[in-house]
Amino acid sequence: MDLTKLKNLAQRNEVRIDNHKAYNSKPQFFYSSLRNAFGFYFKTFITNNTSYDFYISATSRDKKKSITILERQFLDEENTVLSIVSFERFFELFIKDLLKKTNPKLTQSEDNSARSNSTWNLLTKIQSKTFKPFIPVPGKGIHSAPFSVALKRFYDLVSYSKDATKNSNRLVKKFSKTIQPFDFLDNADYKATFEFINWYRDRILHNGNKLPTMRFLDFIVTQRIIPIANSILQADKEIPSEWLYFTTTISGVKILDHMMNLKFEVTNPKSVKKIGETFDTLLLIGHLKELGRANMNMNNAVKSNQATYEYNYKDPFGRGERFAQIEKDKYPDAIEIKKCPCCSGQSLVLYRIKGKDLPIPSIINIDWIKCYTCEYHLRYNVFDLHYFNTNFEKLFDY
């Protein structure tokens, strides 16, 4: 079976997931990529939680060339790749959706024989109906423009909307109206972030032998991506409030808001004070990631006390509490039950292995917590949320 036959087979066996006559969803289908991207990113803490304190301590004070091996050991390849690719997919489809609402041809590649020398020339062709789309195989559909091309068209239109000699153009006027709720995108840093995420996505998929360190991934997501994503989520009035459950825990922690307000440098500071501040910031990001990961399990079904994927199970909160109680009663290292700082359920079990019982006796106990409702989990090595905010209960000795 050659490529043509495979493509034909694929086109006969596809499911359309965008909004059309027979299907409509809110928010738009590409928002799922954004939620998935955060889900993948949040997981990069728990996969490295055992020695996370050691990692951020080293990256906060040591020279980069001294921690190359450590950076490799603490790299979560799977979730790093999936998060970057998913963030890029969301931004690309979001930008193209705004262009499509202006005119669908703005999202299409132009035929090589008649390529425009500027976006303004492209607008002229669209309005005069002389635009020729690129169709790789006759009768098999129009080629979508690469994100880099769509992004250039988008920001050229932003510029035209502020140009008195161009802003009366019919398509420019329509574009200006379309992006009005998202006018904050007229931002040089945001444009650079879109270009950067597209570049990194291509670099990963087409070369694939280099990934950002965990610290740089934290920088990209908290300092560059979340400010844009959060603004979009707040500006898009078509997003149902219940869809946004992943942004705020049941206990009231606004995860994305907290993350975007944490500032740190990619390069190491030199003063002892700055090293300490960087350590605390990176540690808090880890805690917020774990809150985010656990909160992903607390979808609207669970919040209504309906188990996910278990249609007939009506008490996931009660189950979590019962599991916690059984652990405390039956497992020797389970010490007590606490209130979970993520889901607020009475299903958080504190475990302890006393230092004197370790293979090599120690004065330090090994403590950890796990919630049997939302799966929230921490080890003593990263402290607890009380370390950052005394409104939270102190769970470990430190």
DSSP symbols for 46-72: HTTGGGHHHHHHHHHHS-GGGSHHHHH
User: On the CB side of 323, how many CA atoms lie within 13 Å of its CA?
Assistant: 16
Return the CA Rg of the chain: 25
Q: What is residue 311's DSSP assignment? A: T
Query: Are residues 278 and 352 located together in one domain of the fold?
Result: no
Q: Do residues 131 and 261 both lie within one domain? A: yes
Q: Which stretch of DSSP H or E encloses residue 370?
A: strand 366-371
- Could you list the residue range(s) of the whole structural domain that residue 245 is in? 28-295
Does residue 12 sit within a domain? no
Average pLDDT score over residue span 365-370: 94
If asked whether residues 258 and 338 sit together in one domain, one would say no
Domains: count for the chain:
2
Spatial neighbors of 331 by CB under 8 A, at least 6 apart, are 351
pLDDT tens, position by position, 277-327: 999 999 999 999 999 999 999 999 999 999 988 889 999 999 999 999 999
- The predicted pLDDT at position 70 comes to 85
Is residue 127 within 8 A of residue 173, CB to CB? The reply is: no
Residue 343 lies in a domain: yes
- Statement to judge: residues 343 and 268 lie in one domain: no
Same domain, yes or no: 155 and 245: yes
pLDDT (mean) for 108-119: 87
345: CATH:
2.20.25.10
256 plus 339 within the same structural domain: no
pTM of the model: 0.94
Examine the domain organization and report whether 136 and 285 are in the same domain.
Answer: yes
Residue 140 has pLDDT above 70, yes or no: no
- Of 103 and 138, the structure prediction assigns the larger pLDDT to 103
The answer to whether residue 398 is domain-embedded is no
Q: Assign 1 a pLDDT band (cuts: 50, 70, 90).
A: confident
pLDDT digits (tens, 9 = 90+) for 116-128: 889 999 999 999 9
Residue 10 maps to a domain: no
Length of the chain: 398
**261 and 329 in one domain?**
no
Q: Kindly indicate the confidence band of residue 269, based on its pLDDT and cuts at 50, 70 and 90.
A: low
9 belongs to a structural domain = no
Based on the fold, state whether residues 287 and 343 are members of the same structural domain.
no
Mean pLDDT within 133-141: 74
| Same structural domain, 112 and 237 | yes
Q: What is the pLDDT of residue 3?
A: 84
Q: Tens of pLDDT along 168-208? A: 999 999 999 999 999 999 999 999 999 999 999 999 999 88
Which one of 250, 267, 295 terminates a domain?
Answer: 295
pLDDT tens, residue by residue, 307-321: 988 889 999 999 999
Q: Please report whether residue 204 resides in a domain.
A: yes
